A and B are shown apart, each in its own frame.
Chain A
């Protein structure tokens, strides 16, 4: 269970303070898919980044709480938070064209992640990475392992990103507009994939999107974001 209570994230500039989040609360149960919608600039992405605790100056999380299965995440030491990312909570972004490193093969990036988190051997990491690619329905995963990002289609890249996000065991996925850069068909495939991961593996997804019909189709609950707060 991921629970956010009264979360406030402000961005400071010389002459004003932008209250991107101002007392936002929401909860995401195990195996649930919950939607978060709202107009552009209402703080949806800030919420995602705040959850990952990746808000950088001039932004700052000023108050509130983020609890993961009852454990308070705010205020944990940096190293512990870093360990949580990828292992407990992951985030996938909108544009799959820029979220993969262009000079490394996708296999490199996947297995690197594993070796980093679990200090796994090269060979074992490769096996696990190929498995992960197969799990997200990439055709011929062993061959794709050696591909570079630019050799894949947008939908495939996004699937690789999802594979990377859940590879190291993350049970909570923040999906920030992950389908908005894709065409309708790829969009559908990605959503089916998320549904499958949710039902089969109990993945919990916070689906951030401005696409209300999409959220209505897939989510058990939808929060509407306004003035830095979440309305049910």
Chain B
């Protein structure tokens, strides 16, 4: 914790994330307009009345960003948590036990990777009702493969280190060795993968929304705001810039925080 506090960038990132989370939580109180309200002038440039301008239906972009943050932040966070959880667990088992477990797990990773996940998501969304909880879960369930590969690689190298043998000599069980001793040693690449996965999840949601399978209109998410802006890039560039900037800021903050956690968990780094 002390080391984390020393990392200025990480603190900065954490502050921004906290700020965004609070803004999302208090969106109804903070937004000057109803985010789905029509009737203002469409495609109005940012002004005092509309801080970040209005979109093609005349909805206030600032309000939509606040409400969209709820969706996008939750999706990013939940989806990545699911994928990191599954990926770490399977990667750990594959890497530690090797042999048949490794083959089965890694072949299913290959299958999942070969399978175009966007269609899987679409299929699931078409069968179940398209709501954001399904979106989160499905994105999480289709994006754990990268993490699994990374964690497996780390396990393959760490499990050969002498301290693992020493632990066995002291009677530590496999589960202890895997979760208490080897997993913390493979924290760095997982953090990086999780950070990138978060951005990926937010963007996947936007692609789904574009296809009508994500967040349903008129409700806002950063992703569908970005998609809506495509037709108006020349006419109203702020429609694209604003959600883009928020996604960018979020991902960057997460990255800084991730890097901070990684540094703080590495005892050799000061």
Contact B185 A102 (CB under 8 A): yes
Any B CB within 8 A of the CB of A211: no
Instruction: Please tell me if the beta carbons of B169 and A103 are within 8 angstroms of each other in the complex.
Output: no
A85 touches B168 (CB 8 A): yes
Min CB distance A192 to B, Å, is: 22
Name the residue on B nearest A51 (C-beta).
Answer: B169
Is B50 in contact with chain A by the CB < 8 A criterion?
no
Beyond A102-B185, A103-B265, A150-B268, whether A82 also contacts B166 by CB under 8 A is no
Cβ-defined contact, A52 with B169, below 8 A: yes
Are A86 and B170 in touch, CB under 8 angstroms?
Answer: yes
Contact call B169/A101, Cβ cutoff below 8 A:
no
Q: Is the CB of A164 within 8 A of B170?
A: yes
Cα–Cα distance between A95 and B165 once the two chains are bound (Å): 12
Q: Known contacts being A103-B267, A116-B176, A148-B267, is A98 close to B170, with CB within 8 Å?
A: no
Chain B residues 195-212 with CB under 8 Å of chain A are none
CB-contacts of B160-181 with A (<8 A): 161-163, 165-173, 176, 180-181
Q: How far, in angstroms, from A8 to B28 measured CA to CA in the complex?
A: 75
* Cα of A186 to Cα of B68 in the assembled complex, Å: 63
Q: Can you name the residue of chain A whose Cβ is closest to the Cβ of B167?
A: A101
Cβ contact within 8 Å between B268 and A91: no
Alpha-carbon distance A104/B179, docked complex (angstroms): 12
Q: Per-residue 0/1 for A35-56: is the Cβ within 8 Å of any B Cβ (1 yes, 0 no)?
A: 0000000000000000010100
The answer to whether A165 and B163 have CB atoms under 8 Å apart is no
- Report which of B171, B181, B266 forms a contact with A82, defined as CB distance below 8 A: B171
Q: With A99-B163, A103-B185 in contact, is A86–B268 under 8 Å at CB?
A: no
Q: Which of B163, B170, B171 has the most CB of A within 10 A?
A: B170
> In the complex, which of the residues B161, B166, B265, B267 contacts A150, with contact meaning CB atoms closer than 8 Å?
B267
B184 on the interface (CB 8 Å rule)?
yes
Residues of A contacting B181 with CB < 8 Å?
101, 104
Residue from the set B165, B171, B176, B265 with the largest chain A CB neighbour count within 10 Å: B171
B residues less than 8 Å from A230 (CB atoms): none
Which A residues lie within 8 Å of B180 (CB)?
104, 112
Q: A86 and B265: CB pair below 8 A? A: no
The answer on a CB contact under 8 Å between B170 and A168 is yes
CB-CB < 8 A to A99: which residues of B?
A: 162-163, 165-166
CA distance A92 to B166 in the complex (A): 7
Distance A82 CA – B167 CA, assembled complex (angstroms): 11
Asked if A98 and B171 sit within 8 Å, CB to CB, the answer is: no
Q: Which residues from B are CB-within-8-Å of A90?
A: 169-170
A54-B165, A99-B163 given as contacts; is B184 within 8 A of A87 (CB)?
Answer: no
Within the complex, the shortest CB–CB distance from B90 to chain A, in Å, comes to 22
Quote the shortest CB–CB distance from A107 to chain B (angstroms): 13
Give the complex CA separation of A104 and B180 in angstroms: 9
A83 at the interface (CB under 8 A from B): yes
Contact A85 B171 (CB under 8 A): yes
Residues on the A chain within 8 Å of B167, using CB: 101
Known: A98-B161, A103-B266, A112-B176. A117 touches B171 (CB 8 A): yes
**Which residues of A are found within 8 Å of B265, using beta-carbon distances?**
103
CB distance from B139 to the nearest CB of A (A): 30
What are 11 A-B residue pairs whose CB atoms fall within 8 Å in the complex? A82-B173, A86-B172, A98-B163, A99-B162, A101-B163, A103-B184, A104-B180, A116-B176, A148-B267, A148-B268, A150-B267
A→B interface (CB under 8 Å): 52, 54, 82-87, 90-93, 95, 98-105, 112-113, 116-117, 148, 150-151, 161, 164-165, 168
Known interface pairs A113-B172, A150-B268; 15 further A-B residue pairs with C-beta atoms within 8 A, sorted by A's residue number: A82-B171, A82-B173, A85-B170, A86-B169, A87-B171, A90-B170, A91-B169, A93-B162, A93-B169, A98-B163, A103-B184, A116-B171, A116-B172, A148-B267, A165-B169
